[in-house]
Amino acid sequence: MTQANPLVSVIVPSYNSSRTLHLCLESVGAQTYAPIELIVVDDGSTDDSAAIAEKHGATLVRTGVNSGQSVARNLGVETANGEILFFLDSDVALDNRAVETAIGFLERDPRLGAICGAYDPEPLLPTTLAARYRTVEQYVWFNEIEAGPIRGLYSAIFAIRAATFRAIGPFHTSLRYTEDQEFGFRLLERYEMWVSRDIHGRHDHDATLGTIFRKVFQRTRLGMQLWMHHRSLPGGAATGSRALSSATALGAGLLLPLPLLVGPLGALATPLLILATIALDPQMYRRAFVDGGFLFGLYFAAVRVAVVFTSAVASGIGVLQYVLTGGRNAGVPAKSASRRVPAVQK
């Protein structure tokens, strides 16, 4: 490609990401596309992330205090000069043709509001057992569609025209767990949103089960209220069979005391419902056994059922909160919620 191509601003929000930031920015430097403007938004880091960004020649923007992904992404847009914005999380290293491929999608179809990328099956760095679980789970979610429309924004890797972003409006800064979902719903009101496996990168996944369960609970609880408001599910974890598997996992947990009430036969209910939970998502569990072997497959299955149970509980709480508040706290903030944070640029 030549300098006649539109300038692409790659925006990388970063908070204490020194473990992965070098690999992330190195992958941007290795892209086959030009010209690229690299912007790193340091969100109040206390490690040497800012120094790493400067070493890679990035334009460095600082939020001053840790303010969240929405604030960081919005500040990156305010700094950007590109006709195309390419958002990239600091724990992802891109395939070297990712930007070029994304631009091709946007240039071919003016109806396309955003094009998202997927995760590779290999993690970015050597990792924990919990992160191996998350690697399999998210690889299956992100790669179920080779190239086509999606209902939820994959915010870790996505490209959008700058004019489209400004027309839709910024990420809402009052949201911490559902800002990408809310932005995606606004985008889909006027445009299509696609994913392509040809736009991909290696991701450094959450390293502890505690972090995974916390994120699943909060994103599902808050997301459920947003989904009810829009009368639409975002796909991925919320597809039909997986939604049903949440119900069977919830039943498995709730029926654990059944033997105390009806005798030994009641002990069959929970394992049968667990088997149903697994049977409703065969691709997910098959991938774990094939990639990790029998012992890892068993570990994956145990964690996955627990995660699905957690998601079901969070969904129920989200529905209850939506009903009790009349949808007032559905994660759809007023326009004034998109505040600006002063930036210090180097």
The tens digit of pLDDT for each residue in 13-58 reads: 999 999 999 999 999 999 999 999 999 999 999 999 999 999 999 9
- What pLDDT score does 235 carry? 59
Residue 344: pLDDT band with limits 50, 70, 90: very low
Fold annotation for 8-205? Spore Coat Polysaccharide Biosynthesis Protein SpsA; Chain A (3.90.550)
**What number is the average pLDDT over the span 147-174?**
95
More confident site: 242 or 74: 74
Spell out the domain ranges in the chain.
8-205, 236-325
The tokens for 26 are 């190195």
User: Is pLDDT at 142 greater than 50 in this prediction?
Assistant: yes
For 191-232, write each residue's pLDDT tens digit: 999 999 999 999 999 999 999 999 999 999 999 998 888 777
Lowest mean per-residue pLDDT among 73-82, 171-180, 231-240: 231-240
More confident site: 238 or 75: 75
- What pLDDT score does 332 carry? 62
User: What average pLDDT does the structure give for the chain?
Assistant: 91
CB under 8 Å to 11, separation ≥6 — which residues? 39, 41, 73, 76, 77, 80, 85, 86, 87, 88
For 307-332, write each residue's pLDDT tens digit: 999 999 999 999 999 999 887 766 66
